[in-house]
Structure 1
């Protein structure tokens, strides 16, 4: 069972596969790490929060439990079927227009590294369009060596393993990243185009969308809080 794929994206394995190659069943197995702790520590308690690319709700559900008023967005109806306790919206992120503003807009999962520059601009413009004038945008970036330190792997819970097998240059600054997820009873793969960005390029891309870095929230600078640029 698959949704229509985005160009350059692929995924294999049991169950539904989303347009960007994500396996719904596999994402239901991924544990939460420190993401919610970082988010909750950077924004006001009980804030209204627009989560762009919510997936099956790995971050959505603990954010709701902490009292945030979450609107969860994804382009896959199969992902949104798993969301509980939050308002949902089915849409590609870069085309989203809810005609409302939020205290916090969240763009996690390295989505800002989209291979297409047009998509990246669309993602950040969506963030800017939906953030309140006194609100903030939280962005999760790749680590500095995320696409050069390959192959590498880490454990998923007690029995799973995720392995970034390769990041093969496609040209024009884009790599084709291949990731494997292995569990005792199932194996999934995801392949997608990704554009590495150093800190100056990342900050320029924010500026083009009318956003300015307020602070880097983690020592490795993978989590960033940005605010609308003052007129």
Structure 2
């Protein structure tokens, strides 16, 4: 397991487990989804991109192939070992400070903005604002507005895998404990983590307060948002 662990986050299964409970080998098996297409449509061709929470490079690699210059950040060295074609930085997102460097685009995906700790959430938004260039864009992926209610649910992944959101149990008025199960013919993983329940209004208010007012939503389900530095 990588260095520190984050309170409330856990994972089981073969291979290294990151501080937030993610299994490196499990991420290596998951195919890329629609993320590169959403990003490519929203930002200028050839833009410089700071990808916060890149994992094993599942989205990094398609972006590099499409001509973007990517700096990939993750707190897990085991994840970063698998990233190719991009500069890598091992750091917690909320603590990231690359000095005077600014990027055309900053990405915060994988629902990381739903971290249970309010200081971590605020730190992530500060990192986004600190590193985006004037006139640049910050793209954030958030949970669907009914995701904590629509359980259990499952979906196929790749040729032979299954992802199951097995449970979503309220912890308090703001947090839900989510348990996700991943099944493959030769291996199984679980990931349990707390998730902060953003309302749309609170989410937009937090971004505006961080100097990143929402310009528009990029998908009909409002899970992808584009913000600009104020």
Report if aligned partners of 2:168, 2:176 keep a CA contact under 8 Å in 1. yes
- 1:74-153 correspondence runs (5 A): 74-99=74-99, 100-153=101-154
> What's the offset of the Cα at 1:3?
3.9
- 3-state SS of the aligned residue for 2:203? helix
* Alignment-derived partner of residue 210 in structure 1: 211
Residues 1-231 of structure 1: matches in 2 within 5 Å? Answer: 1-99=1-99, 100-229=101-230
**Alpha-carbon displacement from aligned partner over 1:34-53 (angstroms, at most 9, x marks no partner):** 10000000000000000000
TM-score, reference length from structure 2 = 0.98
SS state at 1:109 partner = coil
Is the contact made by 1:3 and 1:17 (CA closer than 8 Å) also made in structure 2?
Answer: no
**Which secondary structure state, in structure 1, belongs to the residue aligned with residue 25 of structure 2?**
helix
Tell me the CA shift for residue 198 of structure 1: 1.8
- Helix, strand or coil at the partner of 1:44: coil
Any idea what SS the aligned residue of 1:228 has?
coil
For residue 202 of structure 2, give the secondary structure of its aligned residue in structure 1.
helix
Determine if contact 2:80/2:90 at 8 Å carries over to the other structure: yes
Name segments (4+ residues, structure 1) moved above 2 Å. Answer: 1-4
Shift of 1:171: 1.4
Cα-to-partner distance string for 1:154-189 (whole Å, 9 max, x where unaligned): 001111001111111111411111110000000000
Q: TM-score, normalised by structure 1?
A: 0.97
Unaligned runs of 5+ in 2: none
Gaps of 5+ in 1: none
Deviations 1:106-141 (A, max 9, x none): 000001111111111011110000000110100001
CA distance in 2, matches of 1:177, 1:126: 26
Aligned length: 229
Cα distance in 1 for residues equivalent to 2:5 and 2:106: 26
Question: Within 2, Cα distance between the matches of 1:112 and 1:181?
Answer: 22
Name the Cα RMSD after superposition: 0.9
